[in-house]
Each structure stands twice: as structure tokens, then as C-alpha cells.
């Protein structure tokens, strides 16, 4: 849920006290970097963009923001990037859409090269089809930092983007609208092909987005279900997520949801999302139930979980969930 910028520091401290290890921002009605500054100043949480839309931003801008947040968080920042879809790139940002996989690879490599120049003083030389950088003077070089350059993670779901991420990036951001079936049979298989092709020796992190509805009684569970169904209806109307519906035998839902959104009939989305989609793509229940389901679904896959909770949730319930998850990690020997 959205949090006012002047409340972020307080909320970050609360999340830390409840047992969270980090917090992230997503693109929405506010800037994706500014809230992390407030969170970093107000807590010791790890910080991550999950994810910053890459194509409208210049690699220099991204590198400066990433290095600043890495310094602020004492080495606990992750730069998460995502391509967004053609309609938003062209109509919202007014830019040209082309070759998203190749462009994202160029962006990752350019940001990394800029960081390497800042860390080592090596000449800056980026000369690709999408990004070119050949000048870095001392005036624009950040002060020496004791921490390593922040890792770059990329959001991917389809096989082409996922394979590129495995080959080039430092980690994968698993988009929250996914099923275990699609994740394992499509996305992770493609990532592994990329790892074998070009990056098997580099450390690699998998951060799984998880849509969660959390409640402790009948009323709060109804609110949780409604919030989750509304979010799934919106995601399901987007062409980029149609393959997930197809994988679950619910391909017909995409056109139905898309038609409702085009009519502006947002209220109907709740009734259009069946229980089987909720069960396949999201996790809803009490703190103990959600912890058990998340462990079953992501155990052995995720290095970290990024919880997307599309409704107001009581801090007590959130704290119970985090304690349950931490206890399960300890039982499994996960640090």
C-alpha cells in the first residue's frame, strides 16, 4: 500500500522492529528512489528498487542513484530494473520501443561499466547500439566508497528476457504475478540457460515477488481476499501476463479481464477472478497459513521474498507472519 513520503522513515523503523530484513519500492504514483532515501535514513533495512523502469532513465542517472543508496544503506542496496511494456514506454514516457532484451542487456552493462570506472578509475568506454559513454571527469566521479558496487537485478518472466538476466545480471526479480508452474518450467529454466552460457561463476540472487493477503479473522480475511482479487484482475488484464494464465488453463480470463478494464468496469474484476487463480498466483490466509504456503512455494527457489500486500494490514499480523517465516528459515538452516 502507498505510504506518504514523510511517513516512510517511521514505517521503515516499524518494519525493522517487526522483523523485516529489507524494504523495496515499486513504480507507481511517486518516484521509485526518493522513499528509499527516507527509509535508509530512518532504519538499518536493506533497500531495493523492485523495480525501477530502466528504459526512460539514463545509465548515469541510475548509477548515481544506486551508489548514493549503497552508501546510505551501508552496502545493503540492490538496484532492481525492469523494462515495462511497449504501451507505457511509448505513450506514457514518449519514447521509442525496440529490442527490449538487447536494450536491457545494454543498460545493465552500461551501469556496471560506469560503476567500475568510479571504483577503479579505469577509462569509461561504453559503445553499444543503445548506450554510449566515453567521458567521466573527477568533478562527476563520486567520492571513494568502502562498499562494493550495488548488485543489479532485473525483472523478467518470459524466456528471452530471463535467459539474458541469467547471463548478464546479478540476480532475478521474479514478477509477483506468476505461478509456481510457470516460474519453474519457463522463467527459471531460461535463467539457468543464461547462467550456463555466460555467468555461472558469478554470484546470483533470486528475489521472488509474492502477492499476499493477510488476515486474522473473517472480516480481515475478506478484505485480504478482495484486495488480492482486485490486483490479480488488473495484472491478468495485461497482455504481458497472459502466458501465466495460459499455463494455468485460464487463458480465456485474459480477454475477459482486458475487456472489463477497457470499459472502465474496475468493480467487476473481483467477481471475475476465480479461486483457482488466487490459489495459483497468490497466497491468502492467517499468518501461520501464509508462512506455510510461502515456504512450500518458494523453498529452495528464493533467496529473498518481496511481499506485495494489496490491502491495509495490521502490524500485529505482519509481525506474526515475519516471525513465522524466520522460524521456518531457522528450522531449515537458512540464515
63 within a domain of the structure (yes/no)? yes
CATH of the domain at 47: 3.20.20.30
Q: 113 is written with which cell numbers?
A: 561499466
User: Which value, to the nearest 10 degrees, does the dihedral of the CA atoms of residues 249, 305, 202, 53 take?
Assistant: 80
What percent of the chain shows pLDDT beyond 70? 98
Name the nearest CA neighbour of 82 among 56, 44, 45.
56
Q: What is the largest CA-CA distance in the chain?
A: 62
pLDDT above 60 (res 242): yes
Candidate from 120-124, 147-151, 182-186, 193-197 with smallest mean pLDDT? 193-197
pLDDT above 70 (res 166): yes
104 within a domain of the structure (yes/no)? yes
274 within a domain of the structure (yes/no)? no
Could you tell me the end-to-end alpha-carbon distance of the chain, in angstroms, rounded to an integer? 28
Cα–Cα distances in angstroms (integers) from residue 34 to residues 66, 114, 296, 300, in the given order: 12, 22, 35, 33
221 within a domain of the structure (yes/no)? no
pLDDT computed for residue 93 by the predictor: 95
How many domains does the structure of the chain reveal?
Answer: 1
- Mean pLDDT, residues 58-65: 98
52 within a domain of the structure (yes/no)? yes
Q: Which residues contact 307 (CB under 8 A, 6 or more apart)?
A: 210, 212
301 within a domain of the structure (yes/no)? no
306, β-bridge pairs: 209
pLDDT above 70 (res 16): yes
28 within a domain of the structure (yes/no)? yes
Name the nearest CA neighbour of 326 among 21, 11, 10.
21
- Mean pLDDT, residues 86-92: 93
pLDDT computed for residue 1 by the predictor: 52
DSSP string spanning 41-109? HH---EEEES-EE-TTS-HHHHHHHHHHHHHHTTS-EEEEEE---HHIIIIIS------HHHHHHHHHH
User: Which value, to the nearest 10 degrees, does the dihedral of the CA atoms of residues 246, 247, 253, 255 take?
Assistant: -30
DSSP string spanning 113-161? HHHHHHHH-PPP-EE-SS-EE----GGGSPPP-SSPPPPEEEEE-SHHH
pLDDT above 50 (res 335): no
pLDDT computed for residue 287 by the predictor: 97
In tens, the pLDDT along 307-328 reads: 999 999 999 999 999 999 999 8
**What's the pTM?**
0.94
pLDDT computed for residue 199 by the predictor: 56
211, β-bridge pairs: 282, 308
330 vs 145 pLDDT, higher one: 145
Domain range holding 55? 5-214+307-331
- Mean pLDDT, residues 162-174: 97
Q: 90 is written with which cell numbers?
A: 511509448
pLDDT computed for residue 264 by the predictor: 87
Burial per residue of 204-238, b for 16 or more beta-carbon CB atoms within 10 angstroms, e otherwise: bebbbbbbbbbbbeeebbebbbebbbbbbbbbbbe
In tens, the pLDDT along 135-150 reads: 999 999 999 999 999 9
What percent of the chain shows pLDDT beyond 90? 89
Q: How far apart are CA 16 and CA 8, in angstroms?
A: 12
Judge if the upstream peptide bond of residue 51 is cis by omega within 30 degrees of 0.
Answer: yes
285 within a domain of the structure (yes/no)? no
DSSP string spanning 262-312? HTT-GGGHHHHS-HHHHHHHEEEE-HHHHHHHHHHHHTTT-SEEEEE--S-
Residue with the three cell numbers 478494464: 261
Helix or strand holding residue 22 (H, E): strand 22-25
Amino acid at each position: 500500500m502507498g505510504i506518504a513520503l514523510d511517513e516512510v522513515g517511521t514505517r521503515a523503523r516499524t518494519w525493522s522492529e517487526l522483523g523485516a530484513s529489507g524494504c523495496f519500492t515499486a513504480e507507481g504514483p511517486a518516484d521509485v528512489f526518493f522513499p528509499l532515501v527516507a527509509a535508509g535514513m530512518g532504519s538499518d533495512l536493506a533497500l531495493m528498487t523492485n523495480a525501477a523502469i530502466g528504459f526512460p532513465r539514463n545509465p548515469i542517472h541510475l548509477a548515481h542513484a544506486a551508489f548514493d543508496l549503497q552508501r546510505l544503506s551501508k552496502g545493503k542496496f540492490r538496484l532492481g530494473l525492469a523494462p515495462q511494456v511497449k504501451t507505457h514506454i511509448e505513450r506514457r514516457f514518449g519514447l521509442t520501443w525496440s529490442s527490449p532484451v538487447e536494450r536491457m542487456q545494454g543498460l545493465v552493462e552500461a551501469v556496471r561499466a560506469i560503476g567500475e570506472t568510479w571504483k577503479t578509475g579505469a577509462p569509461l568506454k561504453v559503445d553499444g547500439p543503445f548506450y554510449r559513454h566515453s567521458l567521466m571527469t573527477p568533478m562527476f566521479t563520486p567520492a571513494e566508497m568502502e562498499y562494493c558496487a550495488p548488485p543489479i537485478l532485473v525483472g523478467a518472466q518470459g524466456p528471452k528476457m530471463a535467459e539474458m538476466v541469467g547471463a548478464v545480471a546479478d540476480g532475478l526479480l521474479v514478477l509477483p504475478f506468476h505461478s509456481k508452474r510457470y516460474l519453474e518450467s519457463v522463467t527459471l529454466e531460461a535463467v539457468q540457460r543464461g547462467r550456463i552460457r555466460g555467468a555461472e561463476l558469478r554470484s546470483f540472487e533470486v528475489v521472488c515477488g509474492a502477492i499476499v493477503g493477510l488476515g486474522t479473522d473473517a472480516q480481515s480475511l475478506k478484505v485480504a481476499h478482495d484486495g488480492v482479487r482486485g490486483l490479480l484482475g488488473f495484472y491478468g488484464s495485461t497482455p504481458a501476463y497472459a502466458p501465466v494464465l495460459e499455463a494455468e488453463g485460464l487463458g480465456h480470463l485474459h480477454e475477459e479481464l482486458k475487456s472489463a478494464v477497457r470499459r472502465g468496469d474496475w468493480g467487476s474484476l473481483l467477481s471475475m477472478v476465480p479461486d483457482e487463480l488466487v490459489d495459483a498466483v497468490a497466497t491468502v490466509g492467517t499468518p501461520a497459513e501464509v508462512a506455510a504456503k510461502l515456504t512450500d512455494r518458494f523453498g529452495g527457489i528464493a533467496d529473498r521474498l518481496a511481499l506485495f500486500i494489496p490491502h491495509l494490514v495490521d502490524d500485529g499480523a505482519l509481525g506474526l507472519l515475519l516471525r513465522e517465516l524466520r522460524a521456518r528459515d531457522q528450522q531449515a538452516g537458512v540464515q
